Structure 1
């Protein structure tokens, strides 16, 4: 029992200790009319030194400050509360301020600010004039150096790259002029804002002209590493023609039909380019058919010997012939030979070789089959023909002689061996006439590196 009373005696003081609180921020009891008047006087004195608070009325009662009247905007209303909170003795704030709707009161601050800026501009006029003169002198120096041909033409691989160097130099001088002028005006803090805005505008502009930028970069790459030369016969993305010029925007070709082909440089840079002129040795090939009962090995040897005996074909690499396929009524051989393009016309050499091979095969008594089928009605017989139904029936074919034909060995050296064939000469004259127009830019240079 004594132990129980002892425990109760120890536990009873605990609730009393828990109910004890420490005083926090309290309101001063000693406020009165003198203190309220002092608070109002202090706030009026502060607001009297600031602009835009002339219509503010202040009432203080028991430390509670009440604001009434008008201010120009909500920012000034919040500032009044901030000032009152910092005055000693203020218990609470009642803000009844409203924004003024008087047009004159709202325009006067803007007019005053505008007038102040004009006065500052007039005061900074001489310094601004000096800054502009120095910036103009720096820009003029950059333009002068950017228009000179040397040393840019000497250090650049071509005129296009030289012009890019000049453009970069002019841009650098313009940036230096801007930084110098801002530094003189002690306004270099604006440089970050200007560069940031320029970066955003440049990014948006880059997305808008993505294709143009891609084409510009492709022009730079093609002008540095030129994959072709003027008058080269090239094939780009299925277009075949002779190169006229390479401009800063497009590659100009002259087709074999005499038409001008304009290809964007971005397409040229990304496409497969076949240059038929870069190597002077070029192989021609053609297909010829022989009768199915012919000695194919002998025909293959005959074709190789015939092409090799032609005066315009090269001995090395040697001509070749092989059996390609079995067709309708014939077995077809592929015959190849090599020529020197600088002294022989490719198209005419191929045609002459085909003519001689056909003549040699026929002279050996082997038929070069004609796979054209015709349908003819001769009495009650039916024959196959491909003639039009409205066309008159052709005359009966004469019986072919079984005697071997004499090979056709006639050769026109002026049209095959002439270094500049008639057709090639005409195309080259057109290309040279186009290139003679010096008013058009041309990035092709014989001194540039070759890929």
Structure 2
């Protein structure tokens, strides 16, 4: 029962559409058999010129057109209402045409269409072959031009950019070949459809791989800007090390602990980069605490004189010392000096400067106290006073503090660059940012 109701609901729209499309207008009072015959002949003549209506019969009585028979599909039967309603003199239409269930009649048109399309395809083969040949020739020329070393290597700042330019040339020739082939086939209208589909697909892929695309663009910009060179000591977001190489995905550093640090280029491009190698002169700073009751001017002059006496400290810019802060029991003295970091180790130079400055201050009788608290219990007598300062023997002043650690890291970087065949976007010939 349910199946019968479903079938009735499916057939209802077709029945309504067949009956609702009726002619409109006034109806003549007089009835004419001659006019009925003329209407029938006119409709039969029209149907005879159309395909798929050979099995349809037409009869007209008092201006009422009755159509009987079979058509290949329901749409053809519904079109009869439109056709008959346009004939002058038609009062009403009784469309009793149904869709044929004969398998042979339904398959014959499909077979005819397949044969027709196969014939058209065979006739289309010569022009299709020419279009494919022209497309292949254009693509071959594009790949041949892109495979040449010049002018791409000469125009690009590094091999990475040169390879991108080659890919762009290949893509341009492929698109040009498609346009020419479609123009030969007379199907240039398909180009807008192809480009629209490619644009939508590219947008979807772009959102899916947004981080990868951002990293790729950052690699291009970094390879053009060249903010550092191999063996440069740089700091990126707190990571300090010497540059090994710049790849299309990441910047590789060698830390002072001997570890490899791979930082995505998107992070490098947006980060604050400190390049310690770009300027050979580098300042070191350290703080020393002295007693509040000491001669602060003497402490400052002693610290400056000590740094001036060190052979690895530069005379220009000169060393400096100043009072930084005053605490509860200590006055902080800030001391600064400059070195040539290509010849001198920054860490060792700073350490030696601290050691010798503390020694000089002690020899001048300038104490460097720490906060102390004395607890006196019952029967405890306070001490007689501070102990006399101990005599400190003279300490040798090093002639030079070589950058042995930096030189060792530079050797490691050179070995890494020579051992690994990975791409490097850094070039000594490129303009430094």
Q: TM-score, normalised by structure 2?
A: 0.86
The answer as to 2:384 corresponding to 1:402 is no
CA gap of 1:273–1:99, structure 2 versus 1, over 3 A, is: farther
| 1:206 counterpart residue number | 206
| 1:369 counterpart residue number | 369
Question: Within 1, Cα distance between the matches of 2:348 and 2:163?
Answer: 44
Secondary structure (helix, strand or coil) at the match of 2:297 reads helix
Question: Within 1, Cα distance between the matches of 2:97 and 2:376?
Answer: 115
| 1:191 counterpart residue number | 191
Question: Within 2, Cα distance between the matches of 1:374 and 1:434?
Answer: 55
Secondary structure (helix, strand or coil) at the match of 1:66 reads strand
Does the 8 A contact of 1:288 with 1:333 survive in 2?
yes
Does the 8 A contact of 1:360 with 1:408 survive in 2?
no
Deviations 1:185-217 (A, max 9, x none): 111121121112112211222222222211111
Does the 8 A contact of 2:27 with 2:91 survive in 1?
yes
Q: Which moved more, 1:342-351 or 1:80-89?
A: 80-89
Deviations 1:151-199 (A, max 9, x none): 1000111111111110110011101111111111111121121112112
| 1:216 counterpart residue number | 216
Secondary structure (helix, strand or coil) at the match of 2:338 reads strand
| 2:16 counterpart residue number | none
CA gap of 1:58–1:25, structure 2 versus 1, over 3 A, is: closer
Deviations 1:110-168 (A, max 9, x none): 44333322221111112111111111111111111111111100011111111111011
| 1:7 counterpart residue number | none
Does the 8 A contact of 1:307 with 1:313 survive in 2?
yes
Does the 8 A contact of 1:330 with 1:369 survive in 2?
yes
Matches within 5 A, 1:123-272: 123-272=123-272
| 1:447 counterpart residue number | 429
The answer as to 2:415 corresponding to 1:428 is no
Does the 8 A contact of 2:310 with 2:397 survive in 1?
no
Can you give the 5+ residue segments of structure 1 that lack an aligned partner in the other structure? 1-23, 383-398
Question: Within 2, Cα distance between the matches of 1:237 and 1:276?
Answer: 14
CA gap of 1:221–1:32, structure 2 versus 1, over 3 A, is: same
CA gap of 1:368–1:158, structure 2 versus 1, over 3 A, is: same
RMSD: 2.8
Does the 8 A contact of 2:310 with 2:399 survive in 1?
no
CA gap of 1:375–1:172, structure 2 versus 1, over 3 A, is: farther
Matches within 5 A, 1:47-86: 47-86=47-86
Does the 8 A contact of 1:363 with 1:406 survive in 2?
no
| 1:388 counterpart residue number | none
Deviation at 1:358, TM superposition (A): 0.8
Does the 8 A contact of 2:311 with 2:399 survive in 1?
no
| 1:5 counterpart residue number | none
| 2:289 counterpart residue number | 289
Deviations 1:349-371 (A, max 9, x none): 11111111011111112223355
Deviation at 1:288, TM superposition (A): 1.2
Deviation at 1:76, TM superposition (A): 2.2
Deviation at 1:330, TM superposition (A): 2.4
Can you give the 5+ residue segments of structure 2 that lack an aligned partner in the other structure? 1-23
Question: Within 1, Cα distance between the matches of 2:302 and 2:397?
Answer: 18
Q: TM-score, normalised by structure 1?
A: 0.82
Question: Within 2, Cα distance between the matches of 1:225 and 1:33?
Answer: 95
Question: Within 2, Cα distance between the matches of 1:100 and 1:412?
Answer: 110
The answer as to 2:324 corresponding to 1:320 is no
CA gap of 1:327–1:94, structure 2 versus 1, over 3 A, is: farther
Question: Within 1, Cα distance between the matches of 2:108 and 2:213?
Answer: 50
